[in-house]
């Protein structure tokens, strides 16, 4: 069975100037070396990523006032949007109200176009070291209340993000990407079944860029530990070997994860799904039948 060609998906990254939108985009496209040398985005920059053959265009909308005015008067910028991420700079709470007014203007345009994109609010520049800080928690509560109480009835997911916590950005974007790509729909049940059958603590399915395509955990502690270990190790491995997809990558990555965990807890293997190479990370101390896992993925139907 061949998938019918899907229309290019459109995702917008929106926020005030210096909110950190381009840094987030560089993390998503794994351009880590560019993060330290960010210049203000001029108008709109477009990047295309591919998830199982589905093209997703990410539009980074420059946040300077003159550009914001242009977007709000030329509403075609927002036409056919599948999802948008509004980025709030948490290091400048004095700009919350200005950000809110921009956000509300966009909601009004979205409503006028008659579209219903997925909406995500990224409370950005919250580093892990500040997560338990009382002042930071108060700011998070204030920003969350401010935006959600003025959401005009729209459903909005909220995530704390930081470029120094790669998993926080992946965690914010993965659910939306999974929603946009119909091919991913059967994976969740398969992963849940594998955790049960193999008595695992958790399992994650990645594409070749290590973007999460699906996951299932027995508990939140496992999820947090796993994602921290994975993305810290991705950066470490990528800095030493930019080519992650060589034949020895699964073995090296599995060894690195288990060395960090100080016990053989992780299994990492390459599986084939139709025409794509994917990676499965298992978390648990039991013996894993890699052939059985691979065969299950061969049986998953394509969803068109």
Compute the mean pLDDT over every residue in the chain, rounded to the nearest whole number: 82
Worst-scoring range by mean pLDDT, 125-139, 202-216, 217-231, 243-257?
A: 243-257
What is the 3-state secondary structure of the chain? CCCCCCCCEEEEEEECCCCCHHHHHHHHCCCHHHCCCCCCCCCEEEEEEEECCEEEEEEEECCCHHHHHHHHHCHHHHCCCCEEEEEEECCCHHHHHHHHHHHHHHHHHHHHHCCCCEEEEEEECCCHHHCCCHHHHHHHHHHHHHHHCCCCCCCEEEEEEECCEHHHHHHHHHHHHHHHCHHHCCHHHHHHHHHHHCCCCEEEEECCCCCEEEEEECCHHHHHHHHHHHHHHHHHHHHHCCCCCCCCHHHHHHHHHHHHHCCCCEEEEEEEECCEEEEEEEECCCCCCHHHHHHHHHCCCCCC
* Domain layout of the chain by residue ranges: 9-180, 186-298
pLDDT at 95 over 80: yes
Separation CA 128–CA 146 (nearest Å)? 23
71-83 pLDDT, tens digit per residue, is 999 899 999 999 9
Look at residue 92 and tell me whether its pLDDT is greater than 50: yes
**Neighbour count for residue 10 (Cβ, 10 Å):** 19
Which has the higher per-residue pLDDT, 74 or 288? 74
Please tell me the predicted confidence (pLDDT) of residue 14.
95
Residue 145 has pLDDT above 60, yes or no: yes
**Range 46-72 average pLDDT:** 88
Determine the angle formed by the axes of helices 21-28 and 166-180, rounding to 10 degrees: 70
Strands 266-273, 212-217: pairing is: unpaired
pLDDT computed for residue 35 by the predictor: 41
Could you tell me the maximum CA-CA distance found in the chain, to the nearest angstrom?
A: 59
Distance CA 260, CA 187 (A): 28
Max mean pLDDT among 87-91, 200-204, 254-258, 268-272 falls in 87-91
Contact 25, 13 (CB under 8 A): yes
Q: Does domain 9-180 have CATH number 3.40.50.1970?
A: no
Q: What is the pTM of this model?
A: 0.80
The pLDDT confidence band at residue 238, using thresholds 50, 70 and 90, is low
- In the numeric block, which tokens belong to residue 137? 């928690």
- Which pLDDT tens digit goes with each residue over 23-55? 888 877 766 444 444 555 667 888 888 877 788
**What's residue 236's pLDDT?**
67
User: What's the rounded Cα separation, in Å, for the pair 254 and 252?
Assistant: 6
Q: What is the pLDDT of residue 303?
A: 56
Which residues pair with residue 54 across a beta bridge?
Answer: 51
pLDDT at 2: 42
Confidence of residue 272 (pLDDT cuts 50, 70, 90): confident
Average of pLDDT values for 246-260? Answer: 75
């Amino acid at each position: 069975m061949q998938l019918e060609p899907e229309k290019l998906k459109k995702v917008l990254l929106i926020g005030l100037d210096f909110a950190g939108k381009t840094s987030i985009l560089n993390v998503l496209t794994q351009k880590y070396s560019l993060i330290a040398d960010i210049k203000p985005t001029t108008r709109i920059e477009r990047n295309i990523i591919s998830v199982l053959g589905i093209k997703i265009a990410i539009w980074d909308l420059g946040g300077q006032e003159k550009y914001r005015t242009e977007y709000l008067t030329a509403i075609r910028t927002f036409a056919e949007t599948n999802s948008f991420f509004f980025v709030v700079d948490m290091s400048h709470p004095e700009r919350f109200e200005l950000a809110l007014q921009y956000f509300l203007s966009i909601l009004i345009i979205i409503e006028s176009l008659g579209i219903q994109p997925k909406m995500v609010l990224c409370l950005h520049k919250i580093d892990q070291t500040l997560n338990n800080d009382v002042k930071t928690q108060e700011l998070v509560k204030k920003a969350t209340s401010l935006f959600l109480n003025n959401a005009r009835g729209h459903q909005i997911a909220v995530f704390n993000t930081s470029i120094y916590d790669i998993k926080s950005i992946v965690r914010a974007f993965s659910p939306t990407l999974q929603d946009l790509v119909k091919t991913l729909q059967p994976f969740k049940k398969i992963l849940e079944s594998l955790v049960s059958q193999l008595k695992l603590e958790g399992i994650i399915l990645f594409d070749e860029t290590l973007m999460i395509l699906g996951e299932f955990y027995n508990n939140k502690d496992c999820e947090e530990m796993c994602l921290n270990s994975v993305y810290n190790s991705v950066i470490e491995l990528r800095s030493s070997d930019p080519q992650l997809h060589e034949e020895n990558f699964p073995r090296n990555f599995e060894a690195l994860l288990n060395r960090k965990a100080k016990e053989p807890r992780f299994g990492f293997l390459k599986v084939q799904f139709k025409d794509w190479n994917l990676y499965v990370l298992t978390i648990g101390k039991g013996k894993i039948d890699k052939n059985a896992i691979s065969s299950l993925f061969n049986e998953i139907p394509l969803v068109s």
